[in-house]
A and B are shown apart, each in its own frame.
Chain A
């Protein structure tokens, strides 16, 4: 057992830390949220230069051959800096799918572009009626000429407005909630028949609803074997869920630091409010919650690529359920301990709180993951 980061990981962390301090302070972030793009194109280019966008890809595709722990390092900083760029969508989710399941040609075409920062993709696999169930796919794909023709809806697709293309799940056979019969397609942003309705999200990002009306794609837009995509999708979502957990841990750590420093500096009744025992205990609980969360996050991260699907599901869902709750506690209490300062837009505190809330509601909320974790508790043989 060794819980230490490698030299490279420590260096990467340090670099991103400096980048946030220098180029991505809170004022800058606020300006980006309301800018036309919604994030920083320069930052995106810098991530490419730093190798962040090529981190998880094999070297033969221009990648750095990184592992989930490397991603954890990055995502923690994404949390701390409240970075708006679509690293999770493009690199971890879509990049992960392409790395795991795409044809050799698609890998050669796309992974180097993602790594270089010239291609952004968004993951369009959730539908309104399915809530967090990835098997609930009503969107249909039927053969058309050499390729496929897609029709359906995808909702709240994160980072969709700026994406050059989407990975869309669509049903080639079976009924809406069947786990068999789902395929995955790469659909270009400008494909005829594709309409977007975009909006900001509660945590400063962007998302969109997609409508596909007879969108025709070539045969080579199909990812993996026809009808067998659910496994690929779940694998990518599990890995991304672990990454999202790391983002939450980064935020909780930063939020606890901010709150601790507020407890030491804010005075009421002639003393720092941190001298009140009830607040000391609350802060201690927040610290414990964040440490527990970090441990669950590490556990999920090292198992995120596990070949044993049951282990992967169990640990990742366990972590997301656990961290969702920890995030709620830490977020709410950080606001509470800041008093009215906690609910103003002007301080980063409320933005951390909102991001933690949105993370809890993304890729399955605590309830969803608790249930999924609970399935692994069934006595053997049932």
Chain B
């Protein structure tokens, strides 16, 4: 047992810090730290900067252009990245479809798509869920009819994050209706510019537009865009979901969220003293911090074991996803409660980068306040998407505990 970072790890951390110091654009950093709306440009710009440094895809193997980081290096990077206020990398391409392509895709697909993902040229989105198929994903109905050299795709996807920005979408489609539903699903890569695709925005409870319905009306998709074998898509999807869930632990983001919470609770006063000195509130922060400490080690332990044994992460990913999503929510809830009355104003325009509070408002309304309540509302999604908490517990009960 040794929980210390090696000298190489320390050196790596210093290198990451220096890089973030030098290369993270100040305007992007300010937006992230103040919870402003980020645009596609912000994400792509940052991805290009990382790519130029050779860090476009930390965990990808070097043969695909990745940095080949260890689990610990990736952890260090994420921690420093979040603390510095750099945007997260968009996971759909880098951490979801890319591992699928590396493992099951054709050489042509790998050669075409992977370089564009890492270089920040292609923005990807995920087309799995449908109105009737959420938790029960295998019941999906969007169909792909095989013609000579292409498929014709028709149907509807929904709850699709960032489709309005995406160049490409990876979809689960039905290619066979007989037999077990899982055995008639294929994994298709679809260019969002193809005729017949329509993206319709859905407004979330915080007023933001981050998800969409995506409609397919006889969309023609070349057969080269089928990943792996026809009707084997479910296997690839499960592989992808495990990756998605592992990433969902979001330790770096939680640490940053905890840090912000402490800053807010130090600034806010109760009976003339900082809120963080209020025993009731302080205990509540402490409780979440303890959960996070445990999760950080849990996360490293699970990832290291998988790396040493050279196997993919198993159903333990569900545990990491459950805990990570709950901690993110608890931190957001505490940040909101820390604000007291200042949690009440709904200032949609305040999330624009150039917004400044007018003098009357600025007298009491701190710069960190505008995004806080919206984040609390918005982050209820984390226990719903990527497989709900209930579904993760079903997985643990069945696959880990054998119940």
Among A268, A269, A353, A362, the residue within 8 A (CB) of B344 is A362
Bound-state CA distance A371–B378 (Å) is 29
Contact B358 A197 (CB under 8 A): yes
Contact B345 A339 (CB under 8 A): no
How would residues 134 to 172 of chain A score, 1 for a CB under 8 Å from any chain B CB and 0 otherwise? 000000000000000000010110000000000000000
| Contact A209:B364 (CB < 8 A) given known A278-B393, A336-B389, A367-B280 | yes
Residues of chain A from 347 to 382 with CB closer than 8 A to chain B in the complex: 350-351, 353-354, 357-358, 361-362, 365, 367, 370-371
Closest residue on chain B to residue A338 by CB atoms: B384
Closest residue on chain B to residue A204 by CB atoms: B346
Within 8 Å CB of B95, what residues of A?
A: none
Contact B380 A336 (CB under 8 A): yes
Bound-state CA distance A70–B363 (Å) is 40
| Contact A354:B388 (CB < 8 A) given known A209-B364, A268-B135, A361-B343 | no
Bound-state CA distance A9–B387 (Å) is 46
| Contact A340:B129 (CB < 8 A) given known A345-B205, A345-B207, A357-B376 | yes
How would residues 223 to 238 of chain A score, 1 for a CB under 8 Å from any chain B CB and 0 otherwise? 0000000000000000
Within 8 Å CB of A276, what residues of B?
A: 390
A335 at the interface (CB under 8 A from B): yes
Bound-state CA distance A219–B135 (Å) is 66
| Contact A131:B204 (CB < 8 A) given known A209-B364, A358-B344 | no
Bound-state CA distance A350–B272 (Å) is 35
Bound-state CA distance A200–B348 (Å) is 9
Residues of chain A from 246 to 274 with CB closer than 8 A to chain B in the complex: 267-270, 273
A126 at the interface (CB under 8 A from B): yes
Among B347, B376, B377, B390, the residue within 8 A (CB) of A279 is B390
What's the minimum C-beta distance from A212 to chain B, rounded to whole angstroms?
11
Closest residue on chain B to residue A127 by CB atoms: B364
Q: How many residues of A contact B (CB 8 A)?
A: 50
B4 at the interface (CB under 8 A from A): no
A342 at the interface (CB under 8 A from B): yes
Closest residue on chain A to residue B397 by CB atoms: A278
Contact B280 A361 (CB under 8 A): no
Contact A371 B280 (CB under 8 A): yes
| Contact A278:B390 (CB < 8 A) given known A126-B341, A340-B129 | yes
Among B159, B205, B337, B376, the residue within 8 A (CB) of A367 is B337
How would residues 377 to 403 of chain B score, 1 for a CB under 8 Å from any chain A CB and 0 otherwise? 110110111001110010000000000
* Chain A at the B interface: SS class: mixed
Bound-state CA distance A340–B129 (Å) is 10
Contact B346 A202 (CB under 8 A): yes
Within 8 Å CB of A177, what residues of B?
A: 271-272
A129 at the interface (CB under 8 A from B): yes
Among A195, A199, A353, the residue within 8 A (CB) of B347 is A199
Contact A354 B271 (CB under 8 A): no
Within 8 Å CB of B358, what residues of A?
A: 197
Contact A343 B205 (CB under 8 A): yes
Within 8 Å CB of A336, what residues of B?
A: 380, 383-384, 388-389
| Contact A128:B159 (CB < 8 A) given known A276-B390, A342-B384 | no
B308 at the interface (CB under 8 A from A): no
How would residues 194 to 221 of chain A score, 1 for a CB under 8 Å from any chain B CB and 0 otherwise? 0101011110000101010000000000
How would residues 115 to 140 of chain B score, 1 for a CB under 8 Å from any chain A CB and 0 otherwise? 00000000000000100111110010
B242 at the interface (CB under 8 A from A): no
B340 at the interface (CB under 8 A from A): yes
Closest residue on chain A to residue B373 by CB atoms: A202
Bound-state CA distance A370–B203 (Å) is 36
Bound-state CA distance A328–B135 (Å) is 24
Within 8 Å CB of B133, what residues of A?
A: 268
Contact A202 B340 (CB under 8 A): no
What's the minimum C-beta distance from B92 to chain A, rounded to whole angstroms?
17
Within 8 Å CB of B380, what residues of A?
A: 332, 335-336, 342-343, 353
Within 8 Å CB of B211, what residues of A?
A: 340
Closest residue on chain A to residue B345 by CB atoms: A199
Within 8 Å CB of A365, what residues of B?
A: 337, 340
Which 3 pairs of residues, A with B, have the shortest CB-CB distance?
A128-B364, A350-B205, A268-B136
